[in-house]
Structure 1
């Protein structure tokens, strides 16, 4: 099937969007209106019909899954060679690529590491303690959230606005936090976007290089972009002005992490000549569902009204039940599912229970347990959040970048080797006195008594530090010639990691080792690729929920369902 044949299968709104003339285009896509199809077909149309080269196209998504799906759909229509060089990915993955290429303009080396959420919280917590702040008044999570919001709004430490004493404290922590990240040759997730936005803003040569390359910039889920992300796409489209954004402000659910639905309004102000296309035909739901949804959202002010319609018929009426209390609500939900399954018309896995916050799942879970019915809980576990997985990744990060303070703090005493908090504090103090990283001191201590820093520690502390420094030095040497999985195995073997976590052959211990083996399977995919790529993928990959294929109802938040 040719690209042009495929256009015949689009509805009028979709076709109008896909074949829009050059220039800024805003596609307001209602739920279930085929926006992924429109984005995919737009790419195919540009390459097959407009003669645009693949490497001149940038397509930005919010999840790795969406990026992968978009690429596969395009390949299914035109051959793989025809899209070679096209850049499809998440905001973070694309920006990380740009930063590594342009590291000479940054206060970082090109092998910078990406601190995950736990690393960031841990760093903020240590700064709060060192500043002798009241940890109950200034919780690390709260202070870090304020820093993250500032970054999303492109506010740097020096420009952080002070209206209260708390703001002053946050500014001090933010300033030190940023210094520590740079000292560790590290960035957090927000930095990846902020550094890129600032680089494109302040360096016209770099900006023009990418803006001239990308003749067409396409953005998915535009309503979920924050200010930094909007600034990025605006800069990247600044030369050709061919920016194609697909979104729906009615579906914006990520305000809590900086998303700003007003970006759609900014887009219209910044590109007054933009073409706007409405996608109103829904392929997912029946008309009654759409009418109820519109009845709710139409009450919102300052929005562009849409009239969603479906060719799938009216469907069943919505059933509304008002329970006496939350216990009655949970019982009704479980009883209804039990009746649906007992009728033989539905399988348990055909049912889902959605709620606003995770805390609301408790009573529903208890109702399922009391009824002796199984259920699946989405969001309960994260693979990359498990202790043993984070340990191994931290070892690899430390070898890749010995300045990585968070990784060093995590694994320096894993398995236990007699390096306590007091020794660690002394190590950091010696590092600061010598204006180098703690990792650099550790590597020098590998020389034993010949190191000028050896006498800064008691004999009891110096020996394990020297031993670990020796291990780290060897791993760094081996990393020059060994593949990612080979180095992975060497580190685990050298520290006897399996014996450390499988200490009692219990089911829990074996499960932990299985998690390490699962990470090893991922590492095997990087046998011919670099540690940079492996660590970047691990840091950026979307958290995966451990859902089995068991035949059970699914419990999840509305955010999880939308995401």
Structure 2
């Protein structure tokens, strides 16, 4: 089969037929980098007669590796079975299996996944008699993996630069791994580097073996991956790095954007080729993306352009609140699907935080539109949400055995599996619930004092939470439970993006509780309201999302969207503090990464792009006034079509109400006067300051002089009375 290079543009062809020299291919979004990589490998095999055995191709996902191999074989017309194509971890694993003995391992070593690693860390903490409350296992896991990604083992750490207990845990953990003939994921890369760094025979063999090394998504490499590649370079082989510094968005998990920037200096005689012609988006979308990313300093420089039509302007919707935002998006999707005959699978909704999905999911369900959370779970299916709901379920019904088992030791409070097994057996023997069994076993001293003490503390906590139902509304109770249970601090203790997402989800659960409206039948008590809310959560999680083969709207975080493309894209929540995130605003490097994330989101769109932000957003049960994202100010107005309000689709309560209608309605429907004294069952007497919003979002501003100062309460849950 003859390779047809005429299918490539000038710059793509230049990259494919490069002489034997190191190269940096700066591949802009939608510029055909996968085509360049596959054609380069096919060109080497077919035109330069290079054996596939002498080529190493590294990608970042198994899916990308499979796709690359399939496309290469289609171009060549024969199998590339012997070629080393895979992820960094996959190739490192293959390397270590062949050379385990050189590192003192049995070649049948096992690899721990993230959960296995966490369990081993917990065992090490128990072995060292270290309290998990002070040294949370997830924090330790993040610390160890972070050090290994930097190439730092416990013996390399200065004992004066880190907590002595953490260093002790790291040391004991490494000993335990060695004894168990096990490696964790970070070990795969680190041991592969150490093998190449310290074993000259092995290093020389692979330097000669791999005459051509190609690395995709180079901007996502971390420290140890970069060092690993440096070990393989010689004056006789060549390395082609393909990537885009403008799409480096994984700094929070160790990726170093500076690797792609340093490549030219660290790998001698590097030729740089820029792929700037975009085959995905309209020129208007590209112009907006170019203008945005130009605000980042230290870029390597690249301007995307297209031969496609200019296209329509980017729609920018200014919503009153997140429900209005969701209603507008769903209304536009309905129009695209019904009037423009667009397939739902061609429509994507992108958001910065997973927690933002809940309100949009609800709006889609109300309108009967199928959707799928790409690369994630629906809101009420997420583990941290199920944990919080389990606390509420046990408060509502002590006989809920599933809830009891789920959270009796979450967060860890010293109630081991053996104790739970003993309670379970007692319950079976005496036909009791787990809660009743625990009560009897404590009272009758069936359990040892060591086992009974943390169990009694847990049961006292549930009883205390339950007692707050009479003085708190549903939103306040949910917030109280998340705080007092320890779930909040469990995720606050680990400063990772994943933990932050879980925290955001827990806070969004409070919003769900605040906004909850029970069915039309009367709810006479706080107990009944809680039961109705829990039933609502079950029903919501029972609404199964569409499977992969169904025509459905695609929902995902902006990080998940990288590498994908859709004709119609909605980017939501463009507000300072949300996007860019609050943690990034004060740090220039983090802000630059957030801007790159916005750039990635914009360049996912092929035909139409809609951006949106809210003036008001509920966060952790509070009403916050939002500031339009600085990123929106960085996109020239010439590319934007502003939409300030929308009055269509007003039927679903709380959706689609314009700011103008809101102002009018709140004047017409206000039971309290400014300056009037009011009473609240928890906060006491206060002065009514103002009312704001309408419907589900109507809130009261009150100054409780003696009960906590100024507060904003949702009207429907405020339980205010006039004095």
The residue aligned with 2:2 is 2
Query: C-alpha deviations, 1:148-186, integer Å up to 9, x for none?
Result: 111111011111355666x43332222112111121111
User: Which residue of structure 1 aligns with residue 148 of structure 2?
Assistant: 151
Matched-pair contact (CA < 8 Å) for 2:319–2:325: yes
Q: 1:13 aligns with which of 11, 19, 32?
A: 11
> CA 1:420–1:365 in structure 2 vs 1: closer, same or farther (change >3 Å)?
closer
Paired position in structure 1 for 2:179 = 183
Measure the CA separation in 1 of the matches of 2:419 and 2:369.
50
Match of 1:358 in 2: 354
Alpha-carbon deviations, 1:246-290, whole Å to 9, x = none? 000111122122111111122122124211110000111111111
Correspondent of 2:99 among 97, 102, 111 = 102
Contact 1:60 1:89 in 2 (8 A): yes
TM-score normalized with structure 2 length = 0.54
Does 2:336 correspond to 1:333?
no
* Residue number in structure 2 paired with 1:466: none
The equivalent residue for 1:131 is: 128
Residue 174 of structure 1 pairs with residue 167 of structure 2 = no
Structure 1 counterpart of 2:266:
270
- How far does residue 226 in structure 1 lie from its aligned partner after superposition? 0.7
Out of 53, 64, 67, the residue aligned to residue 65 of structure 2 is: 67
Q: Match of 1:229? A: 225
For 1:70-469, list aligned pairs within 5 A: 70-80=68-78, 83-161=80-158, 167-238=163-234, 240-380=236-376, 421=418
- Residues 219 and 255 of structure 2 are in contact (CA less than 8 Å); yes or no, is this contact kept in structure 1? yes
Q: Secondary structure of 1:321's match?
A: strand
- Check whether the contact 2:337–2:344 (CA below 8 A) recurs between aligned residues: yes
For the 8 Å contact 1:152–1:227, the answer to whether it is kept is: yes
In 2: Cα distance, 1:117 partner to 1:546 partner = 28
Assess if the C-alpha contact under 8 Å between 2:283 and 2:310 holds in 1.
Answer: yes
Count of aligned pairs between the two proteins: 406
In structure 1, the residue matched to 2:557 is 557
Q: Whose strand proportion is higher, 1 or 2? A: 2
TM-align CA RMSD: 2.5
- In structure 2, how many angstroms separate the alpha carbons of the residues matched to 1:189 and 1:175? 17
1:339-381 C-alpha deviation (Å, 9 max, x unpaired):
3223142232322111112122122112223334332112335
Does the 8 A contact of 1:215 with 1:237 survive in 2? Answer: no
Distance 2:46 2:271 in 1: 22
- Return 5+ residue gaps in structure 2 as ranges: 384-415, 422-544, 564-723
Question: Shift in Å at residue 141 of structure 1?
Answer: 1.4
Range moving further from structure 2, 339-348 or 64-73: 339-348
Cα separation, 2, equivalents of 1:310 and 1:125: 54
Q: 1:212-233 CA deviation, whole Å, 9 max, x = no partner?
A: 1111111111111111111112
Change in CA separation of 1:168 and 1:333 when aligned onto 2, cut-off 3 Å = farther
Cα deviation, 1:11-33, whole Å, max 9, x if unaligned, reads 11111111111121110000111
Distance in 2 of aligned mates of 1:263 and 1:274 = 14
Paired residues for 1:30-45 under 5 Å:
30-45=28-43
**Any conservation in 1 of the 2:370–2:546 contact (CA below 8 Å)?**
no
CA gap 1:297/1:208 in 2 versus in 1, 3 angstroms: same
Change (3 A) 1:269 1:182: same
Contact 2:210 2:237 in 1 (8 A): no
Residue in 1 that maps onto 2:20: 22
Inter-CA distance 315–162: structure 2 relative to 1 (3 Å threshold)? farther
Partner of 1:434: none
- Distance change >3 Å, CA 115–CA 381, structure 1 → 2: farther
How many angstroms does 1:127 deviate by? 2.1
* 1:378–1:547 CA contact under 8 A, matched in 2: no
Query: Counterpart in 1 of 2:595?
Result: none
On the 8 A contact 1:352/1:554 being kept in 2, the answer is yes
Unaligned 5+ residue runs, structure 1?
388-418, 425-544
* Contact 1:26 1:276 (C-alpha < 8 Å) held by counterparts: yes
* Contact in 1 for aligned 2:60/2:216 (Cα 8 Å): yes
Segment of structure 1 superposing worse, 264-273 or 89-98:
264-273
SS in 2 for 1:102: helix
Q: Distance in 2 between matches of 1:164 and 1:86?
A: 44
Distance of 1:154 and 1:344 partners within structure 2: 54
Tell whether the 8 Å contact from 1:28 to 1:277 is kept in structure 2 after alignment.
yes
Once the two structures are TM-superposed, the CA of residue 302 in structure 1 deviates from its matched residue by 0.6
Please tell me whether the aligned partners of residues 371 and 546 of structure 2 are also in contact (alpha carbons under 8 angstroms): no
Q: Deviations over 1:450-507 (max 9, x none)?
A: xxxxxxxxxxxxxxxxxxxxxxxxxxxxxxxxxxxxxxxxxxxxxxxxxxxxxxxxxx
Deviations 1:292-317 (A, max 9, x none): 11111110111112111101111111
Which has the larger Rg?
2
The structure that is helix-richer by fraction is: 1
Over 3 Å counting, the alpha-carbon distance change for 1:360 and 1:125 in structure 2 is farther
